[in-house]
Each structure stands twice: as C-alpha cells, then as structure tokens.
Chain A
Amino acid sequence: NAGVTQTPKFQVLKTGQSMTLQCAQDMNHNSMYWYRQDPGMGLRLIYYSASEGTTDKGEVPNGYNVSRLNKREFSLRLESAAPSQTSVYFCASSRGAGETQYFGPGTRLLVL
C-alpha cells in the first residue's frame, strides 16, 4: 500500500504558466482534499471532494481548479500561476467526513 502519492515532488513555474498537480490514493477512500501550507500559517483547505463525482471549495479556492478523475485520483490545476501560489501543496484522503485524513508527501511549488 503506497497510501497517498503526489507528483511532482518539486516544480518551478514562471508567472502565467499552468500546471496540474496529481494525487492518487490506494486506500479506497471516498473523500479527498487539497491543502496548501505556507510559513507562519496553518494548512489551509483549497478544495475537497466528498465523494467521486463531487468537488467543493474550501477556504482558499481562488486561482485553482480541481478534478476528481475517479475514486483514486484528485488533481489540482493552476491555470495561470502567480507568485502568491508559491507554497507546499498537500493532498489528503479519508473514508468520509469526520474521519482521519491521510496526507501525501507534498509538492513544493515555486512561482517566479
């Protein structure tokens, strides 16, 4: 069991470029999440998917889009990257609402 995997591990973008962060889980979890972690701030929820076929905004959704491709995969897209999106991005999954979340290893993104 790999748990939650994320690709890439590290990425450098120029302002205005687009990219997609990939996340997959092999725990048969229903719910998946995308967070960002910035220095001096707690993890903040960007988007979540309660179950396959649904997505909802979290606390900081602006500038991002998501796709729940199937039960295993949940991707995060930056259409036009901005320096303010420089951060570490974590994907997580859980069986459902209120259940323990399991986190992936993170993607470090630098936008110049």
Chain B
Amino acid sequence: EDKVVQSPLSLVVHEGDTVTLNCSYEVTNFRSLLWYKQEKKAPTFLFMLTSSGIEKKSGRLSSILDKKELFSILNITATQTGDSAVYLCAVEAGTYKYIFGTGTRLKVLA
C-alpha cells in the first residue's frame, strides 16, 4: 500500500531558528514529491521535486529529494512567525494519484 509519512507531527520553535521537516514515502510508482504550506485554509504550493540531489530554493525555504532512501526534507532558515502553518508533503504515485502525508504543524514563537 502506498504511504507517505511526515515527521515530526508538530514542532514549536523561536523566531530565528532553523527547522527541518521530514517526509518519507513508500510508493510503487513514484513520479514526483510536492510540498505545500497550509495556513488557515487552502494549501499553497511550495516545491515540486522529481530528481534526487537537486536542491530547490525559494527565499528561506529549501527542499531536497533522495530517491534512493525514499525521503525528502524541507528546511526553513531564520524562521518567522509567518512561517507558522501545517506543512504537507504529497507524492504523485501515478497518473492523477496523489498520496498526502498528515502534515507537520509548525509554530514559530516571537
């Protein structure tokens, strides 16, 4: 059975800290891995990763995929209170087949 597991479930840090969120997966037909940020409402897209070892970066956020060990990490440096959200990882495991993890809830304290 295809599955995506995120860790930790939740995390509390102080502004300025660096955090690493983990996403591991077991799927039979991997196509891509996606990261989303979900604040109060709609998940918003952060990154799509398809190749191992190539870091994707957007401001203070970065992500990398390891297809051999079947995981991805999302790093956030110099965290701000606006980074508080649930971060979702999803794997595209076939045509129109997306498996989502349960998310990591991040709270950044001022």
A residues with a Cβ closer than 8 A to B are 4, 31, 33, 40-45, 48, 50, 56, 58, 90, 97-98, 100-106
Contacts and interface: CB of A to CB of B under 8 A. Distances in A.
Interface residues of B, number: 23
A101 B45 contact: yes
Contacts, number: 50
B41 A98 contact: no
A91 to B, nearest CB: 9
Interface string B67-110: 00000000000000000000010101001111111110000000
Interface of B: 4, 31-32, 34, 36, 41-45, 48, 88, 90, 92, 95-103
Secondary structure of the A side of the interface?
loop
Given A90-B42, A100-B48, A104-B42, A43 B95 contact: no
